[in-house]
Structure 1
Amino acid sequence: MIHIYLCDDSQSSLNTYAGLISDLAAKHHIEISLHSFSSGEALLFHLSECTYKADIIYLDILMEATNGIETARKLRKLGCHAEIIFLTTSEDFVFEAFDIAPVHYLRKESTPRDKFEQVFLRALSLAEKKEAEMFFFESFGVKKGVLIKSISYFEVLKRVLTVHSANGETMQFYGKMEQVEKQLADRNFLRIHRSFLVNIAYIASFMSQNVELKTGETLPIGVTYTQSSKKAFSDYLASSHLYML
């Protein structure tokens, strides 16, 4: 199921694009859920607690109150990783949204159907790939998702798991470290301690009793994990064509 959101303050445009997207989904046998909003504020309110639900978002740039670009920036701050496609009547705003990393800009009323289809399929491909790169969990009744590559390590204390991101942000949920370790078994995560599961890509070096991360943090190595951790790290460096100094 691909979750698609349309946001445009013109009901006529909402109807047009909703019909076009539904036709393309049927043509390519893609199961979608499609939601429409007439303002950036309404979209932000709806997604504020569940940004993970959005896979593709079509945003009109020229909207009253909160325009499309500002809406997109706020969504990114909320942790929304959806593929964003801007709908516009002008190219004047193209250089204002590099930080948002949109899939494309589509000229309203003048984009040919085949071009719209091409952009739709590209966004779909990117969304499906990103889904496989996400780690999902339920935090205090709210389902959340975070890019696996942005996770530096997991920490557990009395069944409370903390997700540490490279940018310093943390999120918590209830669970077992063993389940997380199994879920990420093929994603280069290394158990270095009964309380820590580390993304190998963020390991800077091993010391006698600690691991130093590229984020500047230092984590302890459990005695029973020392040899297996060092071997796994060496194997990772070798497979990545990197070498320890």
Structure 2
Amino acid sequence: MVTIFLCDDNKQTINKYDSLITYLAKKNRITFTLSTYESGEALLFHLADSPNLADIIYLDVLMGTLNGVDTAKRLRELGCDSQIIFLTTSEDYVFEAFDASPVQYLIKNSTSVERFEEILLRAISRAEGRKTEMFVYESGGVRKVIPMKEISYFEIWKRLVKVHTKNGESVEYYGTMEQLEKQMQDKDFLRVHRSYMVNLQYIGKFTRPSLILKTGEVIPIGVTYAKLVDQAFSEYISRLSIHR
């Protein structure tokens, strides 16, 4: 079951995307529920106590008092891990939208049905994957797990690995950076220093010689990693590229 929320201040637009999502879900044999909201305030009110009710949230950018980007940022502050997809008539907010870690930024009336379907299926895949993907480590002879989405960064000193989570907590185990790099390959984690590896989804700003995470923590960038970090950060931002 996939839970989808659609937020737009235009009823015609809500009806249009409600019908499109329903059509595509049935076409791909996806069981889903769809709830609609006509303002960012209404969406935030509904999710205030349970920010992760939705797997996917479609957000109009240009709404009334509270626009979609600011709504998304407030949702992230509440701890919302939903897959956010912006729908808009303007390209002006694409870089500002990056802070909300969206799946995509799509232009209304210009995005083809095929492209919309591709993004929807990607979001569903990511949502399902994040529900089950775990980081496994061993401590005191006991195998333990942490949801990947909860990890903001790893810190290593000698052979002690410290796993930092988004809520400010941490756990420790013994291992090496080489083992960690192999384990986190293709997991959207990037080594930025001989002692640090970060979750790309938590990067707020790239300001040499450091990264500022969305948790407020500052992570140093090693001189030998600067070029790689710059490239990886640029590629990550490019996921917000405009699609029509």
What range is the shorter-chain TM-score in?
A: 0.5 to 0.7
Please show how residues 31-110 of structure 1 align to structure 2 within 5 Å.
Answer: 31-110=31-110
**1:212 Cα deviation from its structure 2 partner:** 7.8
**1:97 Cα deviation from its structure 2 partner:** 1.2
Structure 1 residues without counterparts, runs of 5 or longer: 134-147, 150-186, 222-228
Aligned to 2:137: 188
TM-score (norm 2): 0.61
Structure 2 residues without counterparts, runs of 5 or longer: 147-152, 183-244
Confirm or deny: 8 A CA contact 1:44 1:75 kept in the other structure: yes
Give the secondary structure class of the aligned counterpart of 2:18: helix
CA distance in 2, matches of 1:47, 1:218: 27
Give the secondary structure class of the aligned counterpart of 2:62: coil
Aligned to 1:14: 14
Higher mean displacement: 36-45 or 110-119: 110-119
Residue type of the partner of 2:7?
Answer: C
Please show how residues 227-238 of structure 1 align to structure 2 within 5 Å.
Answer: 233=174
The RMSD of aligned alpha carbons is: 3.5
Higher mean displacement: 5-14 or 115-124: 115-124
**1:71 Cα deviation from its structure 2 partner:** 0.2
Residue type of the partner of 2:139?
Answer: L
Aligned to 1:141: none
Give the secondary structure class of the aligned counterpart of 1:106: strand
Confirm or deny: 8 A CA contact 2:156 2:177 kept in the other structure: no
Confirm or deny: 8 A CA contact 1:40 1:67 kept in the other structure: yes
CA distance in 2, matches of 1:81, 1:26: 25
Higher mean displacement: 35-44 or 45-54: 45-54
CA distance in 1, matches of 2:62, 2:169: 44
Aligned to 2:213: none
Confirm or deny: 8 A CA contact 2:72 2:100 kept in the other structure: yes
What is the number of residues matched between the two proteins? Answer: 175
Confirm or deny: 8 A CA contact 1:5 1:54 kept in the other structure: yes
* Cα displacement string for residues 23-51 of structure 1 (whole angstroms, at most 9, x for unaligned residues): 11111111111110000011011111112
TM-score (norm 1): 0.61
**1:110 Cα deviation from its structure 2 partner:** 2.5
**1:128 Cα deviation from its structure 2 partner:** 1.2
**1:116 Cα deviation from its structure 2 partner:** 1.0
Confirm or deny: 8 A CA contact 1:58 1:84 kept in the other structure: yes
Structure with higher Rg: it is: 1
CA distance in 2, matches of 1:46, 1:13: 21
* Cα displacement string for residues 200-221 of structure 1 (whole angstroms, at most 9, x for unaligned residues): x9574699xxx784669998x9
Aligned to 2:191: none
Residue type of the partner of 2:129?
Answer: K
Please show how residues 196-211 of structure 1 align to structure 2 within 5 Å.
Answer: 204=156
Give the secondary structure class of the aligned counterpart of 2:52: helix
Relative contact order, CA 8 A, sep 6+: which one is greater? Answer: 2
